[in-house]
Structure 1
Amino acid sequence: MRHVTRILLLAILAVAAALPAWADTIVWRSPTKPLTIGLSTSDYTQIMFPEPIAHVVVEDPSYIDGKPLDGYDGRAIMFQSLLPKMATRAFFTGQSGNTYIVILTTDVPYRTYIEVVDGVAMKQMRESVASKMGPLDVVRAMAQDADVPGITRETYVIPNWFRGNGMTFDLSEIWQSPTVTGLVVHVRNENPQPNEVNLPAVVIPKTSEWGNLRFASMENLRLAPAGQPNDKGVLFLVFIR
């Protein structure tokens, strides 16, 4: 599983690495959410789409000059404004059937190169990565404070979330994927004597939306007396839905 997860992570990184260093990127999220791209009268803007474009319709074709670029498998089109001030919509249909609505205008700064990234495909890839992560992978990511594609992180501070055996448990962060919920919990010893966290005996408040508790991990189970160094620790909990 770790091997598959690594391959998918590398695939996401490869998409980002494939973009030219000078490229500005915009994310296409759906056919109902237009993209806005600035044009100039003095230079062309090259737009690179995530797939070959099969058909283009421009509402006001007299406003712009456009031409496809050879050598890009039909993915690249150049545009230049013919007017000092203008705005028009263009409808690009990809080979997959996806429609990219683009507002071409002089009202926003123009860029020489624009890369349109398929946000839907990226979202699906991130979710695929997250769905293949097991409890140990999630705990490792939480312990390393490392962001993972497809897993959202939310600061969710609840001081004194619950108490038990002379210790206080503070909820500080929630990690969410389509199938897994991870909790970061800070533990404080309130006893004047050393105390030990007994993970099997930890009873947390019930919350059905997180699923079933499947894994708990803590680096420092034995806590020093209250007020002394090492009287605190971090507990990681993983739930499966």
Structure 2
Amino acid sequence: MQRPPLPLAAQNYLDQRQQAADQQQADGTLDIERRWADARQTQAIAGTADSVLATLRQMAGQGARCMYCSDSRGTDIEHFRPKAAYPTQAFRWPNLLLCCSACGRLKGARFPLDPAGEPLFIDPSHDDPWAHLNFVPETGALMPREWRDADLTLQCSEKGRWTAQILLGDERIQDGWRRTWRHLARRVREFLALPCAAEPLLQDLQEEDTRGLLPWCFGPVGRTYSPFLELREHHPAVWQTCETRLAPAP
């Protein structure tokens, strides 16, 4: 998910708010919850087509879904680094995401860090989620990605583990991901029954993919599942075109 630059007026507003918050923190008078609540109602944050919220909705793409679960519609501005613990990031554009109310409640102020102080949540505006998560078509579950290292020791993505454990375990979310898988698989089966050029297939798949599952389907795990396996084996040129456009970057 690419983060676009903010419109200039909105960026300037965030900068001014952060400077004021930083000064209040230095003075020992900062109430960041109140500062954010006041700013959240302003035109620059949520009231115009060039606001922070409008830009986040555009960034979220089709349906303006929650950037964490990709299931429910994103309704509010989320601080990736919680503002109470990280007040110097409260008005920083790279720290702001769009989330649904359910994910907002589940994440709350939780923000696990690794021993080096790096976040153990997936940042959807920075991280490739499929580098840390795996999808289970049979159940719709999103699980931490596992692999074996050079010594054949099983490794697990800690970012994937924490994100899946705290945010992605709800059956509602799994049902939505499973429906998306079924829609994509059905479209590929229709193509296999009546092949066409790659571009119409790509367009149909992208229209069906409301949750960002296609990079997994054309990645190293998804390609082993039917009907994507048959697409790769029987229509290599079409597969190559789709893979080039849809597979996650290595």
TM-score range, shorter chain: under 0.3
Q: Which has the higher helix share?
A: 2
TM-score (structure 1 length as normaliser)? 0.25
Larger Rg: 1
Which has a greater percent of strand? 1
* TM superposition score normalised by structure 2: 0.25
